[in-house]
Amino acid sequence: MRISRGHCTRLGAHLEGDGVNFAIWARLASHVELLLFAHETDTNPAVIPLSPRLNRTAYYWHIHVSGIQAGQCYGFRIHGPWRPYNGTRFDRDKVLLDPYSRAIELPPNYDRLAAARPGSNLHCCAKSRVVDLGHYDWEGDELPAHSLSRSVIYELHLAGFTRDPSSGLPAKRRGTYLGLIDKIPYLQQLGITAVELLPIFQFDPQDAPVGLANYWGYSPISFFAPHAQYAATSDPVTEFRDMVKALHRAGIEVILDVVYNHTAEGGDDGPTFCYRGIDNEAYYILNEQMRHTNYSGCGNTFNGAHPVALRMIMDSLRFWRQEMHVDGFRFDLASILSRDESGMPVANSPTLRTIDTDPQITDTKLIAEAWDAGGLYQVGSIAGARWREWNGQFRDDVRRFVRGDDNSVRAFAERLCGSPDIYHYHHADPEKSINFVTCHDGFTLWDWASYNEKHNEANGEHNRDGSNENFSWNHGHEGETHDTHINFLRLRQAKNMMVATLLSVGSPMILMGDEVLHSQGGNNNAYCQDTPLSWMQWKWDNRAQNMLRFMRELILYRKQLLARPEQDGMPHSLAEILRHSEICWHGVECYQPDWGSHSHAIAMSALSKEEKIAFYLVFNSFWEPLEFKLPAPPRGVGGEWHRILDTALPSPQDIVSFGSELTMVKGHYRLAERSCCLLVSGAAGFCPA
């Protein structure tokens, strides 16, 4: 090996000439060492000290090493003051990862706790690895670029989707990027337009209660490296790219759930394996006593307002867009990024606006979880015009109405219309709202209908973790039952929830497995359950197949309703029709909605004069059947009302197959208790066979 000065124009490790240039920002470091490992289990690395005179420029340390190439494992040791009372926590004994690592190796004996104990962690440390990004054939890959009005997002755990043996995949491909490729036909048949992957940044699998594993992945140790344990081979970067390319060929977008609000280093007594050992007070928000704040609920709060931290976030986003071709980002606890360096919320956050306006990611979707664990709640007010938001109010209000709560009908109506009370359409389009009733965090759809209380005992936290307020209802029995009546009612309610989600104005998101009524046994916080409890199950009983058919048809109706050959041949989605329709509200009597506190039923008619079509959507959350008088079909539309779906009917009558003949309905409609229906008028050219 030969060493030379190197440069700091690009941070991280990059192949240049006959070697690699390394560059790292460490403004307070007194001494930096580069460690080169022969392999991931090597405990006797070559140690190259960097000269403060030759290998330092301002706050940056850099060096070029000739004679090494892609695949080289490396790390740093950084010397500096250990002064926790001043915010610095340098530890010269710890091997540190490169914050810009494109790949990270965890040796078989990796030990998270060794990085938290005094002394060296050299024998069991994680290591960065040099990656060659320049030799991959994208074969003309292009982003599908679905509009949000035509989108149906599917929140998916990459490993859990195929890890169960029932997936039918070879053991080596289960739970991997390649395994997801194998299941693309299923996603196409379901009809979704985007997968939203739970965190795939390299995370610490040991950041979990003793004896359990970090399953969800909300514990990043890198913002650039794809999770190596999701790869079937030793090349996670290539596998991830292969997955993205295959999904794009199938017309499916890839949205990443990104975690820029905290890292796996935890609180003040947590491990030191990267940011804490490089510049603790720059990378994290500290309080007046120079201790870690915890607005994330995970022990620390990443300091996105600091220029260097913000630059790293932007570099990360650009990397995933430009080098990995992802289509969008869902920001976990995005409201943290609206806090300044002291932790105080800032109006019109510069950090969020920088992300919103960056020209290099303008063709990506930006979705915010607009709250944090410190009590900040910004649904409807996140800074930046391009941001879309997870609408937690949609989830809660739909759940409350469908289970039959008092004082819920008016809020439910607002959610069906895209939440104009939250988003104010003169400032935002209706797709500002990402509508969902379930996600990874909380009950699954079937568990919402099966449990009154959470059952998280398996997490080892004495059932104290997870939300206590789920707006759920067990329908007469806690947990699984053989009672036919209860199970039929639960199935009907699950369909009601999906109708509200997929026929509302906004962009719908559904949770992996809800389409086949997956249950987690009442666990509403399965973050540490890397077991069949959380995994997608691929052997379905009649009830699951019934739900799956209903979901496929419902998604098809939402996505493509009217052919428009006179334009571009693209179908006009139900969502697009509804957002431009004239809306009227009804009760059991036409044009007489009951907005009272004890109302449990509402009907909505939507007239699209442009398309000459009208819809009549009715929800009956009352515990008895109700007779609804139907308004006359609007003038100019013509025809009679025809039924598309009724969740009280048995399959396959519950929803008419797309393109099939519809049943005519005249004058009135008797809707069973706890069910919903959708009627259409003006069927000329409707649902082309």
Would you name the residues annotated as active-site residues? 332, 369
Give me the DSSP letters along 329-350.
EEETTGGGGGB-TTS-B-TT-H
Nearest Cα to 322, choosing from 550, 162, 141?
141
Instruction: Let me know: does 631 contact 591? Beta carbons within 8 Å.
Output: yes
Cα(575)–Cα(393) distance, integer angstroms: 19
Instruction: Let me know: does 59 contact 51? Beta carbons within 8 Å.
Output: no
Nearest Cα to 559, choosing from 192, 119, 21, 134?
192
Cα(587)–Cα(604) distance, integer angstroms: 9
Instruction: Let me know: does 626 contact 677? Beta carbons within 8 Å.
Output: no
Residue matched to tokens 């090996």? 1
Question: How many of the other CB atoms lie within 10 Å of CB of 269?
Answer: 8
Residue matched to tokens 């596998």? 239
According to DSSP, residue 115 is labeled: G
Ramachandran region of residue 229, left (φ > 0), alpha (ψ -120 to 50) or beta?
alpha
Ramachandran region of residue 152, left (φ > 0), alpha (ψ -120 to 50) or beta?
beta
Task: Give backbone dihedrals phi and psi of 20, rounded to 5 degrees, phi first.
Answer: -135, 135
Cα(292)–Cα(117) distance, integer angstroms: 18
Instruction: Let me know: does 506 contact 147? Beta carbons within 8 Å.
Output: no
Mapping DSSP to helix (H, G, I), strand (E, B) and coil, where does residue 229 land? helix
Cα(161)–Cα(251) distance, integer angstroms: 19
Instruction: Let me know: does 141 contact 325? Beta carbons within 8 Å.
Output: yes
Burial degree of 396 (CB within 10 A; 0-12, 13-18, 19+)? middle
Residue matched to tokens 């709202």? 433
* Beta-carbon-side half-sphere exposure of residue 639 (alpha carbons within 13 Å): 20
Q: Which residues contact 624 (CB under 8 A, 6 or more apart)?
A: 673
Cα(51)–Cα(61) distance, integer angstroms: 9
Nearest Cα to 586, choosing from 630, 624, 548, 530?
630
Instruction: Let me know: does 498 contact 411? Beta carbons within 8 Å.
Output: no
Q: Which residues contact 291 (CB under 8 A, 6 or more apart)?
A: 84, 268
Cα(532)–Cα(231) distance, integer angstroms: 20
- DSSP alpha helix (H) spans, 2-78: none
Instruction: Let me know: does 621 contact 637? Beta carbons within 8 Å.
Output: no
- DSSP alpha helix (H) spans, 374-480: 392-403, 409-416, 420-423, 445-448
Cα(679)–Cα(689) distance, integer angstroms: 18
